[in-house]
Amino acid sequence: MRHHIETLPTVAFLLALGGCVAAPSGEAPASSFEGAETEAAAQAVPPATEPRDPSRTWVVLLGTGTPGAEPDRFGPATAVVAGGTAYLIDAGPGVVRRAAAGAIVSGLPALRPQNLRMAFFTHLHSDHTIGYPDLILSPWVLGRSVPLQVFGPPGLDAMTTALLDAYREDIRVRVEGPEQLRRDLLAVETREIEPGLIYEDPVMRVEAFAVPHGTWNQAFGFKLTTADRTIVISGDTGPFDGLVDIASGADVLIHEAYGAEGLRLRDPGVQRYHGTFHTSAIKVGEIAAEAGVGMVILTHQLHLAGETPDEMVDQVRLSFDGEVVYGRDLDIF
C-alpha cells in the first residue's frame, strides 16, 4: 500500500504493490538540518570506533529496551546494515536519534537519518512502534529522497494512514512554509506480511515467521540472510520451540529474554503474562543450543527481580556453550 501525502488530509492514496520491492540506490542529499555529528552529539554517544567495513554485514543494536523507560536503553530497534542499506527491525522510542548515534559509532553512513528507508515491524506493540512517526517524518525533514518502505503485521496500513493524518498540519507547514519541503518525497510504502519470504534485493533476503506473543494475533520474527551472515531476530515471543528449526545453523540469534529466577518470585498474574508473552534466558539457551547458532545476543531484557546482566548470561549458558552477549544500545557485531 502506498501512502502518499499529496492526497492527505482527505484519505491516503492506496496503491497495491506487486512483487518484491527493489531497493532504490543512492544516498539522500544533505539537508540544511544536517548537523547530528556535532560536538554535543559526540558527547552524548560513545566515541566513534574504527569504521566498519561496508562490504560486510553488521548488526547495530539501536535500542535494547522495553516499555520500561530506562534512561540508558532506548526503545526496541535493531539495524542490520548490508550493501549500504540499514534494514531496521522495529522502531521504538528514539530510533532516529539512535540511528544517528549508530552512524557515528560505526562509521556506517547507511545509519544516518536521511538514509533510513527500510523497516520491518515484528508486531505493533507500542514500545516497538512509537518511533514510527519519527521514522516517517524526521528523515524527510532531514533530506530523505526516496520512499520509506515498511513491512509489518496486519494493522500496519491503518496505523500508517492514521499517523500521516495526525501530522497533516505539520506536513502542510513544512511544505507550504519557508522550509518548502517536497510533499512528493514524503511517501510511505507499506506491506502487510504473512510468514514466508517477504523481501529480497541483491544483498538481502528477509523471511518472516510467526511467533507466539501472548494474546497478539500476529507477531513475527525475522531471518535475514546476506552473502556473509544469517541473522535471526526473535522479536517479542513466548517460549517458541519452532525457532530451533528456523535458526538452525544461523550465525547470530538475537533473542528477547527475561531473568528466569525473577519470574518465580512474582505473583501469578505477572507469571502468566511473562510466561506467555516472553521467554526466559534459560529457554533462550536451550533453543540456541538445539539450533546450533554461532552466537546469542540478548535484547529487550526484562529484569523481573533485579538479576544482573551476568546472571542472565549465565542462565543462557546453562545449555549453550557458544558466545553469549548481553546486548546494550549501540553495540556493534
State the DSSP H helix or E strand holding residue 175, giving kind and residue range, or none if neither. Answer: helix 168-176
**Is the Cα dihedral 134, 140, 141, 143 positive or negative?**
positive
Q: How far is the CB of 31 from Zn ion (least distance, A)?
A: 32
Buried b or exposed e, range 92-128, using 16+ CB within 10 angstroms = bbbbbbbbbbbbbbbbbebbbbbbbbbbbbbbbbebb
127 lines the binding site for Zn ion (CB under 5 A): yes
Only one of the segments 95-103, 106-114, 121-129, 179-187 lies at the binding site for Zn ion (rule: CB under 5 A); that segment is 121-129
Q: How far apart are CA 224 and CA 75, in angstroms?
A: 21
C-alpha distances (whole Å) from 103 to each of 50, 116, 156, 192 are: 12, 11, 27, 29
The residue (of 157 and 236) whose beta carbon lies closer to Zn ion is 236
Candidate residues 3, 4, 98, 125; the one interacting with Zn ion per rule CB under 5 A? 125
Which residue among the candidates 53, 72, 90, 127 is catalytic per the annotation?
127
Please select the residue that binds Zn ion; options are 134, 157, 207, 236, rule is CB under 5 A.
236
Applying CB under 5 A, the site for Zn ion has a residue count of 3
Taking alpha carbons only, the member of 85, 287, 306 closest to residue 298 is 287
- If the CB atoms of residues 212 and 294 are measured against Zn ion, the closer one turns out to be 212
When the beta carbons of 236 and 251 are compared against Zn ion, the nearer one is 236
Shortest CB 79 distance to Zn ion, Å? 17
By CB atoms closer than 10 A (0-12, 13-18, 19+), residue 295 is middle
3-state secondary structure at position 103: helix
Q: Is 53 a catalytic residue?
A: no
Q: How far is CA 181 from CA 36, 138, 175, in A?
A: 19, 12, 5
Q: Which stretch binds Zn ion (CB under 5 A): 39-47, 117-125, 146-154, 301-309?
A: 117-125
* 229 in contact with Zn ion (CB under 5 A): no
Q: CB of residue 215 vs Zn ion: minimum separation in angstroms? A: 10
Closer Cβ to Zn ion, 207 or 236, answer by number: 236
Q: Which stretch binds Zn ion (CB under 5 A): 123-131, 185-193, 195-203, 266-274?
A: 123-131
Q: What residues make contact with Zn ion under the rule CB under 5 A?
A: 125, 127, 236
- Mind telling me the catalytic residues? 127
